[in-house]
């Protein structure tokens, strides 16, 4: 999963780009639900939020390292729930 750091300026551009609706406004800045973030696996070649963030504050979450296979399994679980 990806992570939004406290460099976030709340510009709102990433939230509509997420195909998994994993990005939401938290108490102070935007946040990413790691249970929903597939790093865009299943949807796009690269994470769309990272592409659009003007301050480059969306790194990989070191606490949620996942393999491509795990990300694809998450994608399939989310599709089944939708």
Told to check if 25 binds ligand SF4 by CB under 6 A, we report no
Could you give the CA distance from residue 82 to residue 75 in angstroms, rounded to a whole number?
A: 11
Could you give the CA distance from residue 61 to residue 36 in angstroms, rounded to a whole number?
A: 13
Backbone angles phi, psi at 81, to 5 degrees: -80, -25
Near ligand SF4 by CB under 6 A: residue from 53, 66, 75, 78: 53
Total residues interacting with ligand SF4, rule: CB under 6 A: 14
Near ligand SF4 by CB under 6 A: residue from 2, 14, 18, 37: 14
Told to check if 57 binds ligand SF4 by CB under 6 A, we report yes
């Amino acid at each position: 999963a990806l992570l939004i750091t406290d460099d976030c300026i709340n510009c709102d551009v990433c939230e509509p780009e997420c195909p998994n609706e994993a990005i939401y406004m938290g108490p102070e800045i935007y946040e990413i639900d790691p249970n929903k973030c597939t790093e865009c696996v299943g949807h796009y070649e690269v994470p769309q939020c990272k592409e659009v963030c003007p301050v480059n504050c969306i790194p990989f979450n070191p606490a949620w390292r996942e393999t491509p296979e795990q990300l694809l399994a998450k994608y399939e679980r989310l599709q089944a729930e939708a």
